[in-house]
Structure 1
Amino acid sequence: MAWNVFKFCTALRGLGSIMILLVLGVVGVSYYAVVITNYGPRLAAGGLGSLIAFSILIIFHCLLVMLLWSYFSVVFTDPGCVPLGWRPAVDEEKGDTDPLTMTEFPDDKENRKIRYCRKCNHLKPPRCHHCSVCGRCVLKMDHHCVWVVNCVGALNYKYFLLFLFYTFLETTLVSLSLLPHFIAFFSDGEIPGTPGTAATSFLAFVLNLAFALSVLGFLIMHISLVTANTTTIEAYEKRTTAKWRYDLGKKRNFEQVFGMDKKYWFLPAYSEQDLRRMLALQGLEHPSKPDSNMQQL
Structure 2
Amino acid sequence: MMRFGAAMAWNVFKFCAALRGLGSLMILLVLAVVGFTYSVVITVYGPAVVSGGAGFRSAFSILALFHILLVMLLWSYFSAVLTDPGSVPANWRPALDEETGEVVALTNLELDKQIFSLQKASSHVDSGNQKIRYCRKCNKLKPPRCHHCSVCGRCVLKMDHHCVWVANCVGALNYKFFLLFLLYTFLETSLVTISLLSNFIAFFSEEEIPTTPGSLAASFLTFVLNLAFAISVLGFLVMHLSLVAANTSTIEAYEKKTTPKWRYDLGRRKNFEQVFGIDKWYWLIPAYSEEDLRKMPALQGLDYPSKPDLEAQD
Do the structures match in fold with TM over 0.5?
Answer: yes
Q: What are the Cα deviations for residues 40-87 of structure 1, in whole angstroms up to 9, with x where unaligned?
A: 101134354110000000000000000000000000000000000000
State which drifts further: 283-292 or 113-122.
283-292
**Secondary structure of the residue that 1:12 maps to in structure 2?**
helix
The letter for the 2-side match of 1:104 is: D
Preserved CA contact (<8 Å) 1:185 1:198 = yes
Q: What are the Cα deviations for residues 152-207 of structure 1, in whole angstroms up to 9, with x where unaligned?
A: 00000000000000000000000000010000000111233211111111111111
How much is the aligned-residue C-alpha RMSD, in angstroms?
2.0
Preserved CA contact (<8 Å) 1:10 1:132 = no
Q: How high is the sequence identity, in percent, across the aligned residues?
A: 72
**Secondary structure of the residue that 1:92 maps to in structure 2?**
coil
Separation in structure 2 between the aligned mates of residue 42 and residue 163 of structure 1, nearest angstrom = 30
Q: Who wins on radius of gyration, i.e. which is larger?
A: 2
Q: What are the Cα deviations for residues 115-148 of structure 1, in whole angstroms up to 9, with x where unaligned?
A: 1000100000000000000000000000000000
Which residue does 1:104 correspond to in 2? 126
How many Å apart are 1:105 and its aligned residue? 4.1
Which residue does 2:277 correspond to in 1? 259
Separation in structure 2 between the aligned mates of residue 239 and residue 186 of structure 1, nearest angstrom = 49
Separation in structure 1 between the aligned mates of residue 292 and residue 56 of structure 2, nearest angstrom = 43
Which residue does 2:6 correspond to in 1? none
The letter for the 2-side match of 1:206 is: V
Confirm or deny that 1:11 pairs with 2:25.
no
TM-score (norm 2): 0.86
Which residue does 1:74 correspond to in 2? 80
- Aligned to 2:312, which of 273, 293, 296? 293
Q: How many residues align?
A: 286
Which residue does 2:47 correspond to in 1? 41
Separation in structure 1 between the aligned mates of residue 25 and residue 151 of structure 2, nearest angstrom = 17
Q: How does 1:42-57 map to 2 (within 5 A)?
A: 42-57=48-63
Separation in structure 1 between the aligned mates of residue 16 and residue 177 of structure 2, nearest angstrom = 21
Which residue does 1:28 correspond to in 2? 35
Preserved CA contact (<8 Å) 2:125 2:133 = no
Higher helix share: 2
The letter for the 2-side match of 1:134 is: C
**Secondary structure of the residue that 1:203 maps to in structure 2?**
helix
Separation in structure 2 between the aligned mates of residue 6 and residue 48 of structure 1, nearest angstrom = 60
TM-score (norm 1): 0.91
- Aligned to 2:105, which of 65, 87, 91? 91
**Secondary structure of the residue that 1:293 maps to in structure 2?**
helix
The letter for the 1-side match of 2:76 is: S
Gap runs ≥5 in structure 1: none
Which residue does 1:241 correspond to in 2? 259
Separation in structure 2 between the aligned mates of residue 253 and residue 269 of structure 1, nearest angstrom = 18
Q: How does 1:117-266 map to 2 (within 5 A)?
A: 117-266=135-284
The letter for the 2-side match of 1:265 is: W
Q: What are the Cα deviations for residues 203-244 of structure 1, in whole angstroms up to 9, with x where unaligned?
A: 111110000000000000000000000000000000000100
Gap runs ≥5 in structure 2: 1-11, 96-103
